[in-house]
Chains A and B, each alone.
Chain A
């Protein structure tokens, strides 16, 4: 379970305003909101890649902000993460990129690593791309390599920052369905940030909406679709008229 209380962060201008949020274990949580509303910053706070100005972050009963840098290394092993810009390592091949978390965090022999990498490549339909370098891939392909890298360690908590950006509608739906199926199979806790709201809402259990650094909605997917809040209604249904 992830629980955040009264989190504030400012980079000159406030990026998070008093955000409190609880994501139960095994939940697929969708985080939506316009650009620069603080979604990615929130994910980086939970993984302690950034430190908040005030507030608390608690994951499975551990106080994250009290950890030292060495404890954090162990703590972060709980997570798989797909970054907004994919963050593939330019200097490595696709297969090495996907295998990197396994090599760093656990003791596997190379044969087993290779098997798992091939399995992941197949799951994101990129079989045979293992020897390419990231710079030769299209945006959508990079995204899928990122997904493969985020899921390879079978981490109990996985964050996807825009898993479908730059993908065509069919592939996008396939990715969402795949991530949902894997999440259900292994009972992972997932937070997904996406602008593709229509497809995102077909797979989420709960939804939160951020606006200008504040969490203005938190509820089930059905609640979000039925919400009468002017901001939420406009954003979820993609209306042109409204306060946004």
Chain B
């Protein structure tokens, strides 16, 4: 009887409206934020206080970097084409002259899009991978076994992913930017007959844009593994638990990328006006 009552109360809680759902999400978000903060602080502590396992670091760099290369190349190739196409079509409605198309495109790419789109892709691929791997280790008690052997999972699992991700996100962003520039250039030439020489116009790319772009690389690269590892480490239950931890990792790290983007972009706007 008691379980029956519990079940129907649960169902009632499930069904009750949007406000309750928003409230629950807010509580979940606050709890998640605390967890993420904890993992972040401990990772930083271990980065500076413990030896870094080079073998693990290289393996993670391969996992995060090389294995994302194919996905990023495809996505950025298409993105470059789409962006130039859309921007060109829209600009034609207002201005007859497309000579600054390339310059504006390069500026936007360096300051924001190369890093942000690459990071959104990495949030899905790398974030899901980290959470699935750590989550499976949690449900099969491997994380507990690590802790029994004086190996803090944050030191042993999160730290190499954190460092590898910062390095590889930066490298992949630069590669992604290159791919997007090439496909954008080809599209501009093919569709709008903009000469590649005209397109390759760096006059609008300032040092501050490069600085902002690189800051974003590092911030995204640091945030994705931390957010995903936090959700992997809080996995609970069997295979369902791993599934929902992976989902949470993708959503939270994508949100983290979007929020960091707004934060850094508006900070840059205030500083470099």
Contacts and interface: CB of A to CB of B under 8 A. Distances in A.
Touch test A–B (CB under 8 Å): yes
B140 A69 contact: no
A73 interface: yes
Contact of B144 (A74, A77, A87, A88): A87
Given A83-B141, A85-B141, A89-B142, A104 B149 contact: yes
B142 A49 contact: no
Contacts of A76: 147-150
A27 to B, nearest CB: 21
B82 to A, nearest CB: 39
Interface residues of B, number: 11
A147 interface: no
Contact of B141 (A79, A87, A101): A87
Contacts of A47: 148
Interface residues on A, range: 20 to 34
Contact of B142 (A44, A79, A90, A104): A90
Contact of A101 (B140, B144, B149): B149
Contacts of B149: 76, 100-101, 104-105
Nearest to B151: A104
Interface string B30-61: 00000000000000000000000000000000
Contact of A89 (B145, B147, B150, B152): B145
A79 B152 contact: no
A90 B137 CA distance: 9
Contacts of B150: 73-74, 76-77, 104-105
A113 to B, nearest CB: 14
Interface in A22-81: 44, 47, 49, 69, 73-74, 76-77, 79, 81
B152 A84 contact: no
B148 A81 contact: yes
A154 B148 CA distance: 14
A73 B141 contact: no
Contacts of A69: 152
22 contacts: A47-B148, A49-B144, A49-B148, A69-B152, A73-B152, A74-B150, A76-B147, A77-B150, A83-B141, A83-B144, A83-B145, A86-B141, A87-B141, A87-B144, A88-B142, A89-B142, A89-B145, A100-B149, A100-B151, A101-B148, A101-B149, A104-B151
